[in-house]
Amino acid sequence: MEILHLKAKNDDIPVIFENSKELNVAYLKLIFKASGVCMQKIPGLAKLSAMILNEGEKDMGSSLFAKELEKRAISMYASVGFETFTIEINCLKEHFGFTLDMLKKLLKNPNTSEQSLEKCKNITLGEIANNQNDNDYLARCGLMQILYPDTNLATPSIGTQESIGSIKLKDIKDYLNDALDLKNLFIVFGGDVDKGEISLLQDITNVIKSNKKLSLEKLQTSQRGSVKEIIKQSEQAYIYFGSPYNVAEDEKYMASIATFILGEGGFGARLMEEIRVKRGLAYSAYARNLFNLSHSQIFGYLQTKNESKDEAISVVREEFTKFITNGVSDKELEQAKKFLLGSLPLRLETLFKRFAIAQGEFYQGKEIGDFLKELEKIKNLKLDDLNNFIKQHDEITKLSFCVLRNEI
């Protein structure tokens, strides 16, 4: 795995590259930074714009475009996250040239027609309606509303019926014009391809404009410790919780092992032991870290009986407090090390997994291969150092909860 550089207009485009003969495939991913839901002006605009891009090239139409890809087993898909807009391609090496031609057509002339917009709107409105029956979704959205009020994280990324109805074709065109910009682009490229074939990507970058570098706003996770309840007919209480986790870059390896012990390690993790094994309150309970460039938090979930919700919330609070106060034991640390280090071969076994790790490293501003250096740090981590780190991060005890429950 290495970083190559592609000159495009006046921009230098980083390319994460690996040659691999595992499969006779070519893989390409265009990642546009600061171009996701974070920058949308209307709820749902980013996802709707990605859907439009998946409708193919305007002159060919969605059906013919999709048919030409399908008969060659080519996967070409645009998607959007909170921070990034991506276009991902996977194809047999023999069809790579054709695939690039199709991508070039798509970028030059996307199917931004009224017909496509109405089709995508109808699909989205159907998903929004279905989401009203998804209790997990509703509780998760409720948590984001109290953790990040008055931000794009507080509104469902798919949008609302009202916001989707208000989106015009001009909004889609303006969004894609701003999002797809060379100044925010980096590329993942590899498979059964050689370094020299990076030049084939020049035609793609030539049809992408270079206007404005976008930046991410740093969002603060609420420390208010709010509790929000959604009353809805339900046989169970759905409980989502979260709090700030303000971790420096060089501390993240300690945060990963700390949270593994607290709530990510399945059976044996503190939350699972206390909530399921000892008290039988839930089938499963977890806590995980989310370290994005725009926001960072620890969050978790459990599902319990409606009448047990208060007890379950109390147990979560107690376990977080005990975790900060008492730290972890030597046995817990050694078990966590054993799992995290022992699972390394599985995390590196395919080209796509290696690319996912390298993409994350580059995006976070780390060196390629930093993942392995962090594992070495985990291997050498001392108990006192980990417990000192844990005690310094009592912000995770400032938990907010969103509970979807039946009226008791």
| Global confidence as pTM | 0.90
Instruction: Kindly write down the DSSP assignment for every residue of 115-150, as one continuous string.
Output: HHHHHHHHHHHHHHHHHTT-HHHHHHHHHHHHHSTT
Domain boundary pick from 145, 177, 206: 206
Q: Calculate the average pLDDT of the chain.
A: 91
State the pLDDT at residue 408: 63
Same-domain pairing of 269 and 367: yes
Domain that holds residue 131: 2-206
User: Does residue 94 lie within any of the structural domains?
Assistant: yes
Distance CA 76, CA 26 (A): 12
User: Does residue 220 lie within any of the structural domains?
Assistant: no
Q: Which residues of 345-374 are buried (b: 16+ CB within 10 A; e: fewer)?
A: eeeeeebbebbebbbebbbeebebebbeeb
State the pLDDT at residue 372: 84
- Torsion sign across C-alpha atoms 177, 45, 220, 371: negative
User: Does residue 51 lie within any of the structural domains?
Assistant: yes
Domain boundary pick from 173, 206, 239: 206
Same-domain pairing of 240 and 105: no
Same-domain pairing of 301 and 167: no
Task: Provide the CATH number for the domain around residue 236.
Answer: 3.30.830.10
User: Does residue 217 lie within any of the structural domains?
Assistant: no
SS3 (DSSP) at 8: strand
State the pLDDT at residue 345: 65
**Could you read off the pLDDT of 184-198 as tens digits, one per residue?**
999 999 988 888 889
**Could you read off the pLDDT of 285-310 as tens digits, one per residue?**
899 999 999 999 999 999 999 999 99
Please state the domain count of the chain.
2
Residue from 118, 48, 107 nearest 76 by CA: 107
> Which residues does the chain have with pLDDT short of 70?
345-346, 408
